[in-house]
Every structure is written in C-alpha cells, then in structure tokens.
Structure 1
Amino acid sequence: MAIPAPMRGLLIDLDGTLYHGNTMIEGADELILLLRERGIPYLFVTNNSTASPETVAERLNRMGIPAVPSDVCTSAQAAAAYVADLRPGARVFAVGESGLQEALRNAGLELVEERPDYVVQGLDRGATYARLADAVRFIREGAPYVLTNPDVLLPSDGGFVPGAGSIAALLERASGQQPTVIGKPSAILMDAALARLDVPAAHAWVVGDNPFTDIAAGYAAGCSSLLVLTGFANADNCETLLEQAGCRPDEIVPDLRRLMERIEALAVAVS
C-alpha cells in the first residue's frame, strides 16, 4: 500500500463540501477551526467568477463557517493572474460580472471596449447579444480567449441555470477558437492557489465532493486528493461517478468528521 503524502496544505472546495445552498454542512465550522489551531495552510478554491473574495467570505461567515477574504481563491483571480503573468498591464475585454472585473483590475489589467489583447469570459447573467458579438469579433481578430470556468450548469432554487461554460459554447462555436480554461478541472486554478499557499503540489491535498472537477483538478495539478461524500458524490453513486470521471482520489471519507480524523493523521503543522 502506498504511503499517503504529508498534508502541508489544503485546497478546499465550497458548494457540496462545506455547504449546501445557504446551509452549512455539519462539521464545516469545526474543520476550519481545526486547521487554524493546527496552523495548516488552506484556501477555499472555487470556480465561482462572479463573487469577490469579500463576498464569498461574508457568505461563509453568515452560515457559521469562519472565513476572511484572503482565505478565498476564485477562478476570476486565477484568470486575472494568468493573463497578468503573460502580459502585465494587458488590455482586456471582459464578459463577466463585478467579481471578474474587480479581479482583472486588481491584477493591474486594463478593461477596454476595443482593441483588447485578451478576451476573458466568465458567467455574465446580464450579457447582451451585442457584447457577445463583440467578444466573438475580438477573438476572431486574434485576441486570445480565456475562460474562467467551464461549468455548463449551475444549481439554483428553481433547478439548474446556464453557467459560464454555456456562454463559452456560443463564443467557441462562433469564433472557431477554444479557450484556455482556468477553473477546475484545469490545473491552472490549482497552481495559482498553490503559489499563494507556497506549498508544493506533492504536499498539498485537494478536498471536494465532485470527481469531475475537484478530484480531476487535483490529479492534473499533481496533488493528492480526498473525496468527501457530502454533495455531488455520495455513498450510492460514488463508484459510478469515479468510473465516469476516469480518476480516483487518494482517499474517500463519508463526512467532515471523518475528514478531520484524517487531517489529524496526515497533517504536518507549519510553525
């Protein structure tokens, strides 16, 4: 049996892992307090591109999960860092909401309406046909296309609604260009989070409830992974989902209580 990698840092999913809707999953608050007490670095890593870290932290605190903005790593932040690394100060045409626009500005990028160096797209629930047409035009004229996250559907109170990946399907089909995908299951978001934690991938663990996004992203980034059966994956569908996803986590736990036990066994406190 392989010896598990030491746990020097955690990249933790949110929806389905720490909460459902607006309700905290039992043990989520205790999990974060344990990590703080043990001095184990962690980040909340989310494909959400619409909310700022401040908004995400505020929502977590309302549910009783301790959080500050610096605990949060969004796909919008990672997309902005990706573009800024390639071309500092680049001109960007953004299709997205305030969380994406704020992240781009904070990375020193210039939001423009004409002659962009890049097109960066996330979820935009107010996108107009004219704005999507402009994005297609810029991509066809040669602007590299960056997608914050590929989620085609998002859960809502009334069922499922189109996500950033659904908008991307339109832009990709019309422009003939595939985007660079930042969010899970891409390794780019995980690499950005690892850089912020200053923890090597070999000593980091990805924790999440979705084999197709969380576990696949951990595998792509070279991290160990731990699947919690608290959301998308559960005891009944776990093996089927893993077979469909084509990747397996290093460990599977039924709930956050068991997760805390594994952290106690695997974690290496940072002094």
Structure 2
Amino acid sequence: MWAYLMDMDGVLVHEEHLIPGADQLVAELTASGTPFRVLTNNSIYTPRDLRARLLRTGLDVPEEAIWTSALATARFLQTQRPGGSAFVIGEAGLTTALHEIGYVLTDRDPDYVVLGETRTYSFTAITRAIRLVEEGARFIATNPDATGPSREGSLPATGSVAALIERATGRSPYFVGKPNPLMMRSALNSLGAHSETTLMIGDRMDTDVRSGLEAGLKTILVLTGISTRDTAELYPYRPNRVIDSVAELVGRSHDPLGEGA
C-alpha cells in the first residue's frame, strides 16, 4: 500500500476554493485506510484551524492528517534541544506547536530565535530578533517562501523577513520547511511510513518535487498550481509522473504512478 504526502495549496485547494476531485481523493484514501498527510509550509494556523478552513471548502481532512512547517520545526527543536526556549515571531500555529513540546517563549536570552509566518510583521519584534541573534541565539525559520498569496496580491513572507535579519546580523537561518527534506522525513515519521512506499504530490518543482526527491520518495507534479509542463522541463530533475490534477488519481489511488494494468 502506498502512503501519501500531499501539498495543500495548489494541489487540494486554491485559497478558499476546492480543486475538483480533491474531496473525492481524500474520501477515497480515508475510506481505504490509506495513510496520508496534507502538508503546508504555512506556519500561521494550527491543524485544528486548517481543518476548519478545509471543511469550509468541502474537504474533510482529519486534524491528525495535517502537517505544517510549524509542527516540523517543533519536532526538529525537540530533537536538538529538549525543553529549550525561543523568541518567536509568528502566529498561533507556531507558538502552539512550541508550547506542546514544552518550550518556553521568552525575549530574554533564548536558545533560539524562531521566525514564522504572520500577516502583521512588527518592526519592533524584528529588531528584537536581530539583537538576540547578535547576542548568540540560534536562528531558525519555518520555511524559505519569500512571498505568500492574498486577495490583493503577494505579501512578504518568512523568507523575505529572514533575509532582512540575515543581512542585519550576518547569520543565516536554518530553514525547516520545504524544500528541506527534513519536512518530508518528519511527516513520514508522524505516519510511521517508509520512503520507498510513499508518494509526494505537489504543484511546485522547486519545493514539493525537490524535497520529495531528496527524501527518497516517488513524486507526482500536478498542474493546478505553480509549475507547468514547460517550466518543469527547465529543472535538472523530473517527477515520476505529471498529471493535470488530483482528479486523475480518483479510483486509482492504489496505483498512483500508473504502473498497473
């Protein structure tokens, strides 16, 4: 049996709209007991928040099947420095994940500065982060995405603010989210799945397909998001399969690579 890792935005939903076939695929995986995780580099929301957001689009994803860069970051910090402390720039998705592993959130001599996504980046908080990194705090960021989407257009995201702090301090962050294969491996561990029998479905060659490839997974590129057939050809690596959308996997989730009869 295959296990599935699936990106969320561009694969299952576009902003607040369901991508046709996504609900049928998730229902099929759930009914058959196929292990899966829905992944997102966005660290703003908790899995509970994201479940509610997806339900509004018509997509019924169990809370435990949602894996965020915030959860991956918390898992990483727990292995590196259990019971540590952090100064956090981010929203509930990140602060909740860190609280759940027993981290203390503080702006006084923290072990880490942890930068995540927020729609209200504070100049005061960024200045404090710069000074703490200068004083020796280790610099972690949930994901390298430079911009995020909104109804009005692009918004500066974690990668852009990380670049600002890096330029001010001369210290580079460690990015946990995609394309770091650590994100894939932490999701695999949460599933109890093996890379050889796990599939990564994504809409971006530079993050989804790359991180899946580097984690040893089979990969499928869907054309409902960022990458196109033409732009995919520009990369030095290839997905195992390219499909128009996840609708093509409905009724075929047992044979996602089209290798059967």
Question: Normalising to structure 1: TM-score of the pair?
Answer: 0.91
Out of 38, 55, 62, the residue aligned to residue 56 of structure 2 is 62
Matches of 2:196 and 2:135, distance apart in 1: 40
The count of residues paired between Structure 1 and Structure 2 equals 257
The residue number in structure 1 matching 2:254 is 264
Counterpart selection for 2:173 from 150, 175, 179: 179
Residue 2 of structure 2 contacts residue 254 of structure 2 at CA under 8 Å; is this kept in 1? no
Q: CA deviation at 1:119?
A: 0.9
Residues 205 and 221, structure 2, Cα contact 8 Å, conserved in 1: yes
Measured against aligned partners, the alpha-carbon deviations of 1:62-105 in whole angstroms (never above 9, x if no partner) come to 11111121111000111011111111110111111121111110
Structure 2: how far apart are the matches of 1:159 and 1:131?
A: 24
Cα displacement (A) at 1:261: 4.8
2:139 paired with 1:145: yes
Q: Which residue, 214, 223, 228 being the options, matches 1:229? A: 223
1:228/1:259 contact within 8 Å kept = no
Tell me, yes or no, if structure 1 residue 122 matches structure 2 residue 112. no
> Could you tell me the percent identity over the aligned residues?
37
Aligned-partner Cα distance in 2 for 1:147–1:30: 34
1:17 partner amino acid: V
Match of 1:3 in 2: none
Partner of 1:241: 232
Distance in 2 of aligned mates of 1:168 and 1:262: 41
Q: What RMSD, in angstroms, separates the aligned Cα atoms of the two structures?
A: 1.4
Q: Which one of the candidate residues 35, 38, 48 is aligned to 1:44?
A: 38
Secondary structure in structure 1 of the residue aligned to 2:255 = helix
Residues 161-185 of structure 1: CA deviation (Å, up to 9, x unaligned) = 1111111110111111111111111
1:250 matched to 2:251: no
Cα distance in structure 2, aligned partners of 1:119 and 1:8: 37
Distance 1:94 1:242, change over 3 A: farther
Unaligned runs of 5+ in 1: 1-6
Partner SS for 1:172: helix
* 1:128 shift after superposition: 2.0
Separation in 2, partners of 1:150, 1:136: 18
Q: Which consecutive aligned stretches of 4+ in structure 1 deviate over 4 angstroms post-superposition? A: none
SS for the counterpart of 1:67 is coil
Which ranges in structure 2 are unaligned for 5 or more consecutive residues?
A: none
Shift of 1:246: 3.1
Question: Of the candidates 64, 76, 80, which is equivalent to residue 82 of structure 1?
Answer: 76
Q: Quick one: distance in 2 between partners of 1:100 and 1:141?
A: 23
